Amino acid sequence: MSDCIFCQIVQGRANCHRVYEDDEVLAFLDIFPVSPGHVLVIPKEHAVDIFDLEETSAQAVARVARKVAYAVEETLRPDGLMVAQLNREAAGQTVFHYHMHLIPRAAGDSMAMHTRVPGDPGEMAGIASRLVVALEH
């Protein structure tokens, strides 16, 4: 979909800090990270939400989310890792291309789902490249 920001990222028409890619799935850093290392995992094929998602895409995203979770664990050593996925506006969904959030959590931090503060590009580039290395082995 040409007006979908995540489709634009898949097509290389918008930038992202990519951490993993295969034929079906792309994982990249959230531009407004709730915490450093906040990753989004998306199917390359556009689907609005879980109700619009092919079963094969659901499986592919779940597999990559698990893979990236291990890379985040190894690289950033968070106290916890939140996996979240919002469907429809009433549930807080703001980008209507299915995605899974992986959000590193520190003990005692606030449980916010969204922030409007952009991540520091240098810090994000550094985290993305560390995750890429962790995902290569």
Residue numbers at the binding site for ligand AMP (CB under 6 A): 5, 14, 16, 30-32, 40, 86, 92-95, 114
**Residue 21 exposed, middle or buried by CB count within 10 Å (0-12, 13-18, 19+):** middle
Residues annotated as part of the active site: 99
CB of 5 to ligand AMP, least distance (A): 5
Provide the 10 A C-beta neighbour count for residue 5: 15
Q: Quick one: which of 18, 46, 63, 67 contacts Zn ion (CB under 5 A)?
A: 46
Instruction: Tell me the sheet residues that pair with 20.
Output: 27
Query: Shortest CA distance to 14 belongs to which of 36, 33, 38, 31?
Result: 31
Q: Please tell me what DSSP assigns to residue 32.
A: S
> Is 58 among the residues that bind Zn ion (CB under 5 A)?
no
Provide the 10 A C-beta neighbour count for residue 127: 24
Residue 94, contacted partner among Zn ion, ligand AMP, none, CB below 5-8 A by kind:
ligand AMP
Residue 95, contacted partner among ligand AMP, Zn ion, none, CB below 5-8 A by kind:
ligand AMP
Instruction: Tell me the sheet residues that pair with 80.
Output: 105
Of 71 and 100, nearer to ligand AMP (C-beta) is 100
Q: Which of residues 61-120 bind Zn ion (CB under 5 A)?
A: 97
